[in-house]
Each structure stands twice: as structure tokens, then as C-alpha cells.
């Protein structure tokens, strides 16, 4: 596939994704302060704490979601519908069995939640936490088999449906939340609404796969050899997911145990901002994931794959670098205006964690090469070690410095695992010339970063601390960054892609 065709694929998947992210960001901007003020800092911290358990339960996926995408892509290439039906039936059986395990494990957690949080949660908070966790366990277990259908949608590159469902869900979520908060209800009812919307999304995915795509699931035979291959592939993805949870979600749990709900509220708010950033970072790479897996299956050379990595990586750095620089320059004012000075620490939390995320996002497509070539054992083992260091460091630093200790531990662990060690592995074992990758990827972009940073500092010196002044500063910075990137940084194909995305977004709104 040519770079031009690949970038067209990116544009198709990215257009609706950016609308979705914009909607999510707008909702967070206007609704989250209302949510925090309505619930109170402690209740919001409790809501965030229990919500983080969804991430832990997601580990029971065992990496099978990515495995489904891989095999669906493989069967699409071969046109083997019979094997596809049988594979999906086996996956559905697997998820149904795991759903029962989730219920068993969740029941144990619900019964012992007082022992886990008794040091820093009140008796009333523990009682509410028990009810909320019960709702989370039941809804997650019911929705688990639905991951099969989401995998089918991803494998068949149904980006519109994949992105449209979260958009609809976000709108309904805010509307229902506002209604129940006005009635005086709290975190328990909000958790119940989240569960109901999750089940609705699952049901629609099932409907779309069967009625719109015409995909059928039929167990002809339980292929034990195929299942072993599936498990071998998904196992290391599962370990990677464990590492991801440790590096980015366990801090909420540790803060809940060691510091209390107020610290969780601070870290939870930072996590919401980082989550939006990670969604932005994932748009481009996820849009090309199925196609990239096909290219890897077709035995393309490392040089060809590196060329494609550069093409995608430049898009990541152009977009994410501007966002990060903007937050560095104006993030403090944004936090102060958004949720008040009590949450001023959140700016530092986000800056520290976002730094390594920005850098590593440029070569996130390398993970698809590792998955397709089944070369994830070494890096997984290393990342497990780094994650354990993260936990140990976070426990020590939280006790000594509070929430900022958890942030530092996470950032250092991510830097070691996903920047230092991963780059060495890709270069020396996989054969991807990472030095050449960075040279081509940052060509023309680094000077823009420097000039934009200087401009941002000067713009930040303009007097005034109102929303109007903040928006004017952001608009001025975006204009300067955009002009600099257009003139100095972007090449011809990237300019064409920007125009293509703009046309697609305009077309969505015209409809």
C-alpha cells in the first residue's frame, strides 16, 4: 500500500474520531466541574476510585480483543468464512467462561472491600463503595461476551460505528447524570447509569454485526490447536495490559488505600485529562491498525514498515506536540479557571505523565509489528519488571509526598519501559532502524517546536486570567503553531491529509 493510500485510510478513521474527542473534551470542560461540585470532592473521589475497578476487571480480557482483530483480519485476507464462524464461536465460549470468573472474583472483592479501604474510607463510604462495586462487577460480566462483536467491527474496519456509539453514549450519559444530580442522587445512581449505557452499547454492536455485516457465529468444532495459538498470542498481550493497568491505573487504588478519597480526586482529575490526550494519541494508530497488521502478514520488509511508521509517526508528533506545548504554556490557567485553585496540582501531574506519552506515541505502530510477528515475550518480561518497580516506588513516594509521588513513579516507569528499553529492542532484535526513524520523523518538526515554545511563553505573559483571555491566548498559539507547521514542518502529503480530514469533518456536519 502506498503512503498516500495509507494516509487516506487514516483520514477516514480519524475524522469522526476527532469529532468524538472534541465532544468528549467539551463535555469534560463544562460538565466535570458541575459533577465535582454536585458530588463534593470526597464523593467524586469515591466515584473515581470504584470506576477504576473497571480497568482492573478489563484484565480478564486476557488480550483476546486484539487477538480477535488479528484473526478476523487474517480470515478477511484469506476469505475463509467457515474458519471465521468457528473462531468467533470459540471466542464467545471463552468470554462467557471468563464472565463467570469475573462474577466469582468480584464477589470476593465486594465481600472484603472493608478490609481493603478501612484505613482511609469512612463506614458510610465503604457501604456505598460496596454497592457501586457490585453494579460494576455485574455489568462488566454481562458485557464481556460483547467484546467478540467489537472485535469483528474493528477487524472489518467499521470505524463509523465504533466511533459513533461512544459519541451517542457520551451525550446520553451527561443528560442522565444532570437529571439525577438535580434530583439529589449521588455516585451509586451514576454508577448504575454507566452500567446501563455499557449494556446498551454491547447490544447495538451485536445487532450491527449480525444484521448489517451479516456475520455469523457457528461452532463446527472446538479447535484445540487454534485455541492454543490464540492463547499463546493473547497471553503476552494480557501481560502487556497488566503492565498498562499498573502503570496508569493502580495509582488510584494505592492512593485510596494510603491517602484517601481527596487524593484520589486530584489524581482522578489528572487522569481524565490524560485519558483525553491518550484518546487523541490513539486515533491515528488505531485507524491504521487492521491495515498495518495486513501489511505485516504480507511479509513486508523492515525498511517498508519503517517508512510507514515514519508516515504515521510524523502525524502523531505534529498533533500531539502542539497539544503538549499548549498545555505547558497555558495549562495552569486552564486548571484554575476550570475547577478552581484547590486542584492546581493537577497541571504538574499531567505535564509529568504526558511527556513520555508524547514521545512514545510517535512509534506506537511498532507494537503492531511485535504483535503480528509474535515478538512480545522479551519486552513483556521487561515491562513486568518495570511495573513492579513502579508499584514499589509509588508506595514509597505516596507515603512520603502524596499524589505527586504516584505521578513520578508512573512517569519514570513508562520512560524506562516504553522509551529506553523498547527502542533498544526494536533496533537490535526486530531490526527497525530507530535512529533513522527519528531522524526522518522529526525532520522539520523540531524547529517548529522550538519556535512555538518561545511564542507560547511570550503569549503566556499577556495580562489577564479570565476565560476570554485564556481562549484568546489559545487561539493565538494555535494560529502561530499552525502557520509554523504548515510553512516549516509539514510535507506535501501531510498538507493533503489535513485538507482531506477537513473535508470529511465538513461532510459529517453537512449530513
C-alpha–C-alpha distance, residues 410 and 404, integer Å = 10
Cell 505523565: give the residue: 353
Q: Binning pLDDT at 50, 70 and 90, where does residue 299 land?
A: low
pLDDT at 6: 47
Q: Binning pLDDT at 50, 70 and 90, where does residue 108 land?
A: very high
C-alpha–C-alpha distance, residues 442 and 317, integer Å = 8
Q: What is the mean pLDDT of residues 220-242?
A: 75
Averaged pLDDT score across all residues of the chain: 81
DSSP designation for 341? G
Over residues 427-473, the pLDDT tens digits come to: 888 888 888 899 999 999 999 999 999 999 999 998 888 999 999 99
Specify whether the CB–CB gap between 196 and 48 falls below 8 A: no
C-alpha cell, 59: 484484565
Establish if 138 belongs to a structural domain. yes
Given a cut of 70, is residue 29 above it in pLDDT? yes
Establish if 489 belongs to a structural domain. yes
pLDDT at 255: 73
Given a cut of 50, is residue 301 above it in pLDDT? yes
Given a cut of 70, is residue 3 above it in pLDDT? no
pLDDT at 418: 82
pLDDT at 499: 77
Over residues 303-319, the pLDDT tens digits come to: 777 888 888 888 889 98
Given a cut of 80, is residue 283 above it in pLDDT? no
C-alpha–C-alpha distance, residues 269 and 2, integer Å = 41
pLDDT at 297: 60
| pLDDT > 90 fraction of the chain, expressed in percent and rounded | 17
Closest alpha carbon to 317 in 360, 288, 350: 360
Closest alpha carbon to 394 in 270, 231, 502, 251: 251
Point out the least confidently predicted range of 106-120, 165-179, 260-274, 398-412. Answer: 260-274
C-alpha cell, 363: 512509534
Residue 237 CA: distances (Å) to CA of 74, 78, 288, 381: 18, 24, 19, 11
pLDDT at 376: 66
Establish if 391 belongs to a structural domain. yes
Cell 493497568: give the residue: 245
DSSP designation for 61? G
Q: What is the mean pLDDT of residues 175-202?
A: 91
Closest alpha carbon to 308 in 323, 298, 322: 298
pTM for the model: 0.67
> Which of 133-137, 291-295, 387-391, 418-422 shows the highest mean pLDDT?
133-137
Establish if 13 belongs to a structural domain. yes
Establish if 302 belongs to a structural domain. yes
Establish if 511 belongs to a structural domain. no
Q: What is the mean pLDDT of residues 484-496?
A: 85
Range of 54's domain? 3-506
pLDDT at 445: 93
C-alpha–C-alpha distance, residues 34 and 243, integer Å = 33
| CA angle, 343 then 348 then 353, to 5° | 120
Point out the least confidently predicted range of 105-114, 194-203, 394-403. Answer: 394-403
Number of domains the chain is built from: 1
Q: Binning pLDDT at 50, 70 and 90, where does residue 422 land?
A: confident
Higher pLDDT, 224 or 511: 224
Establish if 180 belongs to a structural domain. yes
Establish if 122 belongs to a structural domain. yes
Given a cut of 70, is residue 287 above it in pLDDT? no
Q: Binning pLDDT at 50, 70 and 90, where does residue 1 land?
A: very low
Over residues 329-385, the pLDDT tens digits come to: 999 999 988 888 878 888 988 899 889 889 988 888 887 777 767 676 776 777 777
pLDDT at 9: 47
Amino acid at each position: 500500500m502506498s503512503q498516500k493510500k495509507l494516509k487516506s485510510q487514516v483520514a477516514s478513521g480519524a475524522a469522526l474520531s476527532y469529532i468524538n474527542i472534541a465532544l468528549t473534551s467539551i463535555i469534560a470542560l463544562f460538565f466535570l466541574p458541575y459533577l465535582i461540585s454536585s458530588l463534593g470532592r470526597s464523593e467524586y473521589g469515591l466515584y473515581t476510585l470504584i470506576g477504576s475497578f473497571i480497568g482492573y476487571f478489563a484484565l480478564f480480557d486476557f488480550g483476546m480483543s486484539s487477538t480477535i482483530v488479528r484473526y478476523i483480519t487474517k480470515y478477511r485476507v484469506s476469505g475463509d468464512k467457515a474458519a471465521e464462524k468457528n473462531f468467533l464461536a470459540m471466542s464467545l465460549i471463552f468470554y462467557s467462561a471468563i464472565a463467570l470468573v469475573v462474577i466469582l472474583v468480584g464477589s470476593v472483592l465486594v465481600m472484603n472491600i472493608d478490609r481493603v479501604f478501612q484505613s482511609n474510607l469512612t463506614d458510610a463510604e465503604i457501604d456505598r463503595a460496596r454497592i457501586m462495586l457490585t453494579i460494576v462487577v455485574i455489568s462488566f460480566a454481562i458485557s464481556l461476551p460483547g467484546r467478540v462483536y467489537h472485535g469483528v467491527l474493528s477487524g472489518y474496519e467499521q470505524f463509523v460505528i465504533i466511533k459513533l456509539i461512544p459519541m451517542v453514549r457520551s451525550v446520553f450519559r451527561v443528560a442522565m447524570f444532570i437529571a439525577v444530580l438535580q434530583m439529589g442522587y449521588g455516585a451509586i445512581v451514576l454508577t448504575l447509569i454507566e452500567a446501563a449505557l455499557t449494556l446498551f452499547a454491547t447490544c447495538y454492536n451485536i445487532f450491527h454485526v449480525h444484521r448489517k455485516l451479516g456475520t455469523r457465529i457457528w461452532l463446527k468444532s472446538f479447535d484445540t490447536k487454534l485455541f492454543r495459538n490464540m492463547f499463546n498470542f493473547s497471553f503476552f498481550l494480557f501481560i502487556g495490559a497488566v503492565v498498562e493497568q499498573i502503570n496508569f491505573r493502580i495509582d488510584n487504588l494505592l492512593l485510596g488505600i494510603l491517602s484517601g478519597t481527596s487524593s484520589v480526586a486530584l489524581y482522578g482529575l489528572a487522569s481524565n485529562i490524560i485519558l483525553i490526550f491518550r484518546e487523541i494519541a490513539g486515533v491515528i494508530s488505531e485507524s491504521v491498525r487492521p491495515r498495518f497488521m495486513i501489511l505485516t502478514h504480507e511479509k513486508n520488509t523492515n525498511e517498508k514498515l519503517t517508512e510507514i511508521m515514519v508516515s504515521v509517526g510524523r502525524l502523531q508528533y505534529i498533533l500531539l506536540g502542539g497539544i503538549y506545548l499548549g498545555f505547558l504554556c497555558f495549562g495552569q490557567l486552564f486548571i484554575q479557571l476550570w475547577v478552581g485553585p484547590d486542584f492546581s496540582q493537577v497541571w504538574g501531574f499531567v505535564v509529568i505523565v504526558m511527556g513520555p506519552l508524547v514521545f512514545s506515541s510517535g512509534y506506537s505502530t511498532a507494537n503492531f509489528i511485535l504483535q503480528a510477528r509474535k515478538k512480545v515475550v522479551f519486552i513483556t518480561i521487561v515491562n513486568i519488571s518495570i511495573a513492579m518497580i513502579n508499584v514499589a516506588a509509588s508506595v514509597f513516594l505516596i507515603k512520603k509526598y502524596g499524589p505527586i509521588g504516584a505521578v513520578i513513579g508512573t512517569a519514570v516507569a513508562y520512560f524506562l519501559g516504553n522509551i529506553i528499553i523498547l527502542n533498544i529492542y526494536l533496533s537490535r532484535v526486530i531490526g527497525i532502524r530507530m535512529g533513522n526513524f527519528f531522524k526522518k520523523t522529526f525532520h522539520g518538526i523540531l524547529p517548529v517546536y522550538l519556535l512555538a515554545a518561545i511564542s507560547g511563553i511570550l503569549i503566556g505573559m499577556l495580562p489577564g486570567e479570565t476565560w476570554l483571555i485564556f481562549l484568546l491566548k489559545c487561539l493565538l498559539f494555535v494560529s502561530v503553531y499552525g502557520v509554523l507547521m504548515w510553512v516549516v514542518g509539514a510535507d506535501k502529503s501531510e498538507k493533503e491529509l489535513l485538507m482531506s480530514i477537513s473535508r470529511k469533518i465538513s461532510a459529517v456536519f453537512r449530513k
